[in-house]
Amino acid sequence: MRPEISVVMPIYNGQMYLKEAIESILSQTFSDFEFIIINDGSTDRSEEVVKSYKDERIVYLDNGRNLGLSKSFNVGIKTARGTYIARMDADDVADPRRFEKQLAYFKAHPKISILGTAVITTDETGRAGKIIRKPKEHWLIKWQSLLSIPLFHPTVMTRAETLKQNPFDENLHNSEDYELWSRLLFTTPAKFANLKEGLLKYRAFPQSFTQNLKTEKREASAIN
């Protein structure tokens, strides 16, 4: 039977926080989903962690080697059977009512195609920090996109056909999400929105992946 939501989560050497991320999805109050986890060539214990769960909603895919985030997401999008596709990162923690609240918004706003939420920052120990919000309305999101990323990527849920018709650009690295949202905002009729509620604990600390991008990768992201 077709699930309502397909959750897509690539992992690459994510064992440190992976258990928390998986359990935050499996414990959602809205339970009609498939959880597509793509192992993108991990060399740590990520596969062992995923396979320790026997939940039938988990769909485990193994790339066999490291293909990169954009290609891994596209693998998950092609596999997805749900009416909606939700993003998730392997080091974040979803609020138990994230899917319930995002789905309710979609049902009440049929013209919206892409929906993000606010986030609650956490440090490496999981201690909560401040809530950070992005613009709520489409036109403000469009303006924001000219200056910076207008969505918190791990919070995004979309109508499935939006991503199936507009996949990630596999030639890009580090900024593939920003390019996709910009492309959708300026070349398609897709409408965006952000919820003001912090429905994801977002890890942001000095040793995180984003903070440790090498200079050349930061430059590549800016060019993209």
Helices (H), 27-175: 46-51, 69-79, 98-108, 138-145, 160-165
pLDDT digits (tens, 9 = 90+) for 63-115: 999 999 999 999 999 999 999 999 999 999 999 999 999 999 999 999 999 99
Separation of alpha carbons 108 and 29, rounded Å: 19
Cα 129 to chain centroid, rounded: 20
Tokens for 2, please give them: 């077709």
Q: What is the DSSP letter of 221?
A: H
Block residue for tokens 């997805």: 80
Q: How far apart are CA 153 and CA 177, in angstroms?
A: 7
pLDDT at 160: 98
Q: Rounded to a whole number, what is the distance in angstroms from the first to the last CA of the chain?
A: 39
Residue type (1 letter), 37: I
Q: What are the b/e assignments for 169-188, b being 16+ CB within 10 Å? A: eeebebbbbbbbbbebbeee
Alpha carbon distance 176, 62 (integer Å): 21
Backbone phi and psi for residue 176, each to the nearest 5 degrees, phi listed first: -65, -35
Q: How far apart are CA 103 and CA 165, in angstroms?
A: 21
pLDDT value, residue 106? 98
What pLDDT is stored for residue 209 in this prediction?
Answer: 41
Residues of the chain with pLDDT under 70: 205-224
For the chain, where are the alpha helices, taking DSSP H only? 15-26, 46-51, 69-79, 98-108, 138-145, 160-165, 176-187, 215-223
At residue 205, the pLDDT reads 56
Quote the CA–CA distance of 163 and 145 in Å, as a whole number. Answer: 18
Q: What does the alpha-carbon distance between residue 134 and residue 69 come to, in Å, rounded to a whole number?
A: 23
Looking at residue 100, its pLDDT comes to: 98
Burial zone of 144 (CB within 10 Å; 0-12 exposed, 13-18 middle, 19+ buried): middle
